[in-house]
Amino acid sequence: MLYNKTMDLFGEVREIQGVGPKTSTALNKYGFFTVKDLIYYFPRSYEDYKKTTKITDLTPGKVMIKGKIKNLKTQYTRRRNFNITTGEIYDETGVVKAIWYNQPYRAKTFKEDKTYFFTGNFEFKYNKYQLTSPTTVMAEEIEETDHEDSGFQPIYPAKGSYKSIWFKRLFENLRNEIAKVPDLLPTVKTGTRADALFNIHFPNNFDDVESAKKYLAYEEIFELILASKLNKNENSKLKAEVLKFNAENTKELVGSLPFKLTNAQRLAAWDILKDLEKETPMNRLLQGDVGSGKTVVSALAIYQCFKSKKQAALLAPTAILATQHAKTLKTLLEPLGVKVELLISATKKKDELKKRIKNGEVDVVVGTHAIITDDTIFKDLAFAIIDEQHRFGVMQRQKLLLKTGDKSTAPWDAESRRLTAPHLLAMTATPIPRSLQLTIFGDLNVSTISELPKGRTPIKTKILNEIQMKDELYPVLNEKIKQREQIYWICKLIEETGRSEAANVKKEADKLKIKFPKAKVEFLHGKMKPDEKDEIMKRFSDGKIDILVSTTVVEVGVDVPNATQIVIMDAESFGLAQLHQLRGRVGRGTKPSSCFLITNGDTPPSKRLEELEKSTDGFHLAEVDLKLRGPGEIYGQLQHGAMNLKIASLTDTKTISKAQKDVSLFLQNKDNMLKYEELMREIKKYQQLTTLN
């Protein structure tokens, strides 16, 4: 596919010159469907391969060496899955030792007759100087795509068998076409989109890259804010039931609680109760750290709905979590006359229950996907709650919001000539930094429960390497097992793979059965059938399993107050937000709890692990994560699918402020919606991410 004027970014990748059917199928597998998907696949870093250092001139710090390698070998230690690969890099001036931890494939990767660029830290360790965990690239690959003798090269993340060099060759074929990419936004004074994309893929220096990033960052922020504003406008066109607040009713429920609400719970509940009184549907996100008491706050809102003689529904991602919510709501609300029922795949006499729901005999339905099947019909649904809503697709969420009676199409209010919809409250245990709230959600209302209920014991977090496990971990766990306390043991993988040395649940479970012969050890992972997973979690919850070896499927799950210890293997391979979520599986009761972060090798732990060891404040950690890793890690936890920001930083307040003003000007001219067709097409993905309904 070659263009005379402009590049069709929405064309399929199989139409690109040099991409055949087999390659296009593979690219589709990795998420490349359109030309734009590929053109917007940006380098993870850049290297100037002309700035190499001779071995004789090496000084401590980051260095790049051009040379060959010999005497490669891998040594396996007695510790679990730990090995060291070493080799000798040499040039015409000398020799230096290179070392890689837990990368045994390195010994088979190199060809001793080939020249490579080695980039890594040159440091003094174990009484000798060495190059630690260097990245490598074959010299002939760099020289093949080196223009104008600059040596300044982009480094692309690999996708399966497609390495950085493959992407560079592909973009070389599209070099002239990238220069024809049309602009997306209203006129921007500095540069064009084509200039920016060209400088991203074919820069001469870091200045080129920085100017390109500024342009593309603005483009991304503009799209995101525009999508959010349009969602706000669309929501204002809908009509909801007015659920009147009554102070005496709320006092009745609060007075019946077996505990005292925290101030943060009261403030969040008040936000929600006021929203329910409006005839525009509530579209609110309730965020609270793990164990902060979001279900109790939702119960106050459900009770207001009940007193208005309307129905409420709570949608949860798993059967066991739905069961837990139903149990909690029954305890809180049924003494006050509220009829709460659980609807999951395992529910007996489902047809009878669905008939009662349709007749209005059930006030609150708590369940999983069974709630949104076509034959589940509500008599008068006025309030919907979605827990961990990022685990549901957009269409699944919308199916719940359309269940306002026996009409299969969107309901219509004849008097106001507006579509009707229930109020919506989405709950998440992933704390979101304020800058993300403002940018991603625009005018979306967010309530925050920023304190934990009294009685929660702090979780002690400790970083250990594998050598320390024998003396500092196993004795602790042995003692806890004797005290009949339970343990989570988290692994990255399900089973052993050829390339990765990360812990896997099956192998770890076998080892732990030997290590703790008197303990009941079982494993859990995402490829198991839902009923099987629920059964194992139920047995763990009932105290019939001492050590549960699992992948991250337990990240959002049932409360097990007796689970007081969690061990996370290969902790460096998890994001900070995910580690915090996993840690939240313990500390649910009154017993002291601990989290052990296990690292490979003897290199110092990363900044994010050190922050996790110091703090249990999810909101502080979210801000740290935003600074260290950008928005993708956090937002990926919050919503189904990635936000897909390639360049923009949501801490760039200057760009955000400019984009907000420009979006307001853009929306003043309704013709812009038609004039900028590609822009409107592009923001649809962001509209799905920046709305809850």
pLDDT tens column, 511-534: 999 999 999 999 988 788 878 888
Tell me the C-alpha distance between 598 and 265, whole Å. 35
In angstroms, the Cα distances linking 248 to 297, 311, 435, 525 are 17, 20, 37, 47
Check: CB of residue 389 under 8 Å from CB of residue 692.
yes
Average confidence (pLDDT) over 451-477? 86
- Of residues 137 and 87, more confidence is placed in 87
Average confidence (pLDDT) over 364-378? 90
Average confidence (pLDDT) over 86-94? 94
Q: What is the pLDDT of residue 6?
A: 58
Average confidence (pLDDT) over 652-669? 85
CA angle 642, 422, 312 (to 5 degrees): 100
Tell me the C-alpha distance between 193 and 170, whole Å. 20
- Candidates 609, 618, 611, 610; CA nearest to 580 is 618
Domain 51-145 has CATH 2.40.50.140: yes
- Candidates 377, 443, 32; CA nearest to 236 is 443
Average confidence (pLDDT) over 403-412? 50
Place of tokens 């919308």: 398
Q: Is the dihedral of CA 211, 212, 217, 218 positive or negative?
A: positive
* Class of domain 459-615 (CATH, top level): alpha beta
The tens digit of pLDDT for each residue in 607-640 reads 889 999 998 887 778 777 767 765 544 444 443 3
3-state secondary structure of 439: helix
Q: How confident is the model at residue 255 (pLDDT cuts 50, 70, 90)?
A: very high
Question: How many residues are recorded in the chain?
Answer: 693
- Candidates 591, 545, 537, 524; CA nearest to 564 is 591
Check: CB of residue 558 under 8 Å from CB of residue 480.
no
**CATH 2.40.50.140-classified regions of the chain:** 51-145
> Taking all residues of the chain, what is their mean pLDDT, rounded to a whole number?
83
Average confidence (pLDDT) over 480-507? 78
CB atoms within 10 A of CB 184: 18
Tell me the C-alpha distance between 645 and 194, whole Å. 18
Taking only Cα atoms into account, the Rg of the chain, rounded to an integer number of angstroms, comes to 28
Tell me the C-alpha distance between 139 and 499, whole Å. 24
Tell me the C-alpha distance between 633 and 432, whole Å. 11
Q: Is the dihedral of CA 569, 554, 400, 291 positive or negative?
A: negative
DSSP string across 150-169: --EEEEPPPBTTB-HHHHHH
**CATH 3.40.50.300-classified regions of the chain:** 211-452+619-625+632-693, 459-615
- Sequence-ordered alpha helix ranges (H) in 483-550: 505-515, 530-541
Tell me the C-alpha distance between 564 and 456, whole Å. 12
- Candidates 287, 284, 329, 279; CA nearest to 308 is 279
Average confidence (pLDDT) over 308-326? 90
Tell me the C-alpha distance between 435 and 503, whole Å. 36
One of 3.30.70.270, 3.30.2270.10, 3.40.50.150, 3.40.50.300 is the CATH number of 211-452+619-625+632-693, namely: 3.40.50.300
Phi, psi at residue 460, to the nearest 5°?
Answer: -85, 130
